[in-house]
Amino acid sequence: MTPAQHVEAWLGRLAGERKASSHTVDGYRRDLGKLLRYMETQQVEDFARLDSNRMRSFIAAEHRGGLSPKSLQRLLSSCRSLFGQLNREGVIDHDPAAGVRGPKVHRKLPQVLDVDEATALVETDVGGTLAVRDRAMLELFYSSGLRLSELVGLRWIDLNFDDGEVRVLGKGSKTRIVPVGRHAIAALRDLASAEGNRPETPIFRGRGGAPISPRTVQARLKHLALAGGSARHVHPHLLRHTFASHMLESSGDLRAVQELLGHADIATTQIYTHLDFQHLAKVYDAAHPRAKKR
């Protein structure tokens, strides 16, 4: 098999056996396409001839070409995943990326709303025929920390009013059960009364009864934030960040927040501990006599 055929076979396994989303597979395809082009320019005809020196040159060339540190780290991760598979299949007997490091990524802390801002947003009512649906969306986002893709895919059969729970399909087609707060349950009951709640129909509907589109949800959140007088750029992931930050502030239970968010790796959740410390540092700076600015 040619290098390109090996890559396509790996992408097929990602989509099939590992149930990776089309978005994830496309990301791997772009990254590994860069590697294939580099191998072609260097006349490296198979992966067995690829070594760490060539990989360092490849990463350095992409860096000089303007690829960001974060993108370079993702590129390396994509390559390592492929090499791991090729090693298991006996195509190569080494890891060409061993010892190869990308530039350090300075992780940007996510923005969050404070409790008052979040409450004001979810209680924003601009009236009209969409008001009930909008309120239910806002309450559910903030109550349960759902991803945008998870919210738009919900059907009424996924919601348990009595137990206050919702079943969501997350990344990698992994299902998890998430609690739903009483305010969100009340808003969803109002929506069910207004629009009906047949088990297989979407909870949040767009035109023709189809599931609401992600772009429509984004546009509605932006509209509601502006109507409520917020100067913040409000988007679905901001509400997910806000949910996680407020949960961690109140509980201090990082593992529980990881489960609620559906993070495969707790390192992804740990960014909220930095947010929590940042909040404490601000309180300290404002309150401690030896920290106040004169």
Is 222 within 8 Å of 235 (Cβ atoms)?
Answer: yes
Q: Which of 171, 189, 222, 223 is labelled catalytic?
A: 171
| Active-site entry in 34, 147, 220, 241 | 147
Q: How far apart are the first and last CA of the chain?
A: 70
- Please list the residues that pair with 160 across neighbouring strands: 165
Kind and range of the H or E run holding 175: strand 175-179
Q: Is 263 a catalytic residue?
A: yes
Instruction: Kindly name the residue from 135, 240, 241, 246 that is annotated as catalytic.
Output: 240
Of the residues 29, 56, 80, 263, only one is catalytic, namely 263
Query: How far apart, in whole angstroms, are the C-alpha atoms of residue 131 and residue 278?
Result: 35
Told to judge if 240 belongs to the known catalytic residues of this protein, a careful annotator would answer yes
Active site residue 272: yes
AA identity, residue 102 = G
Identified catalytic residue from 237, 274, 282, 284? 237
Q: What token pair was written down for 144? A: 């349960």
Judge whether 188 and 196 are in contact, CB under 8 Å.
Answer: no
d(CA 107, CA 271): 9
Q: CB-hemisphere CA count at 13 Å for 290?
A: 0
**Catalytically active residues, by annotation:** 147, 171, 237, 240, 263, 272
